[in-house]
Amino acid sequence: MSYPSINITFLGTGTSSGVPMIGCECEVCSSPNPKDKRLRSSVMIETASTTVVVDTTPDFRYQMLRLGVKKIDAIIFTHPHKDHIAGLDDVRAFNFFTKKPMDVYANYLTEEALRRDFYYAFSDTKYPGVPEIDIHTITTEPFTIGDLLIEPILVWHLKMPVLGFRFGPFTYITDANMIEEKEMNKIRGSKVMVLNALRKEKHISHYNLEEAVALVKQLGVPEAYFTHISHQLGLHDSIEKELPDGIHLGYDGLTIKL
């Protein structure tokens, strides 16, 4: 099956606190290197006719402004943690210009959180100017948005089910520390994958750097980029030099064409 050419943009590559972290004076948080400045993790996927964003972080408004994004067809959510959903209110701007609701795709757990946290957008009596949202409940079954066929991948964030997504040759996974073999088979054959790698030390609910590298090698994906990075991982340029061929640290603004 042919897949449309896609353009992937890293909107943010940081963990929940972002980098620099408030109040921190470590060498990473103090670094002048733009690649050490990380907004919360999100990506944008574009074809010639379709644009989708994965997760609306607390930085969503700024992420859209700094890239000059004028059009989004849909938003897909991985899970309901605040660093992945908190920016949803800012779809109001897209509503204003398109004169239509934003299509949002989420599993039942995330949908429940969105309806709770943004209750005013789902009220029977809405105040003028609140976000207009059409929610589509997804499972692990493939679905389409425009010309994009999207295959959800179930991963585990400790005990929380999180959805990764495969877009043809590209797989995006964040906030995970375990993937069952059945779901790994959905990733195999990807040309490029993105995976979370929080820090060098082990973590209760995220892959660390060593585990992330091992998983990429196990899956046989030829090119990989790490995201959801904390200041504890180290300086971008230093860690990049330690990584095997074909594996890189992602950074905000990075684009990949497939």
Q: What is the pLDDT of residues 191-210, one digit of tens each?
A: 999 999 999 999 999 999 99
Tell me: pLDDT of 40 over 70: yes
Instruction: Kindly report the average pLDDT of the chain as a whole number.
Output: 97
Q: Per the structure block, which two tokens stand in for 209?
A: 């750097």
Domains parsed from the chain with CATH numbers: 7-257 (3.60.15.10)
User: Mean pLDDT, to the nearest integer, of 25-51?
Assistant: 98
User: Mean pLDDT, to the nearest integer, of 246-250?
Assistant: 98
Q: What is residue 72's predicted lDDT score, i.e. its pLDDT?
A: 97
Q: What is residue 1's predicted lDDT score, i.e. its pLDDT?
A: 58
Q: What is residue 41's predicted lDDT score, i.e. its pLDDT?
A: 98
Q: What is residue 13's predicted lDDT score, i.e. its pLDDT?
A: 98
Q: Cα(176)–Cα(156) distance, rounded to whole angstroms? A: 5
Q: Where are the alpha helices (DSSP H) in the chain?
A: 60-67, 82-85, 92-98, 108-117, 181-187, 209-219, 236-242
Strands 148-157 and 255-257 turn out to be unpaired
Q: Per the structure block, which two tokens stand in for 151?
A: 């295959």
Q: What is residue 128's predicted lDDT score, i.e. its pLDDT?
A: 82
Encode pLDDT of 136-195 as tens digits: 999 999 999 999 999 999 999 999 999 999 999 999 999 999 999 999 999 999 999 999
Q: What is residue 125's predicted lDDT score, i.e. its pLDDT?
A: 82
Tell me: pLDDT of 241 over 80: yes
For residues 173 and 211, the answer to whether their CB atoms sit within 8 Å is no
User: Mean pLDDT, to the nearest integer, of 212-228?
Assistant: 98
Give this prediction's pTM: 0.96
User: Mean pLDDT, to the nearest integer, of 103-124?
Assistant: 96
For residues 219 and 192, the answer to whether their CB atoms sit within 8 Å is no
User: Mean pLDDT, to the nearest integer, of 122-134?
Assistant: 89
Encode pLDDT of 62-109 as tens digits: 999 999 999 999 999 999 999 999 999 999 999 999 999 999 999 999
- Residue 149 forms beta bridges with which residues? 144
Q: What is residue 208's predicted lDDT score, i.e. its pLDDT?
A: 98
Q: What is residue 126's predicted lDDT score, i.e. its pLDDT?
A: 81
Q: Write the CB contacts of 224 (distance below 8 Å, at least 6 apart in sequence).
A: 192, 193, 194, 195, 216, 246, 247, 248
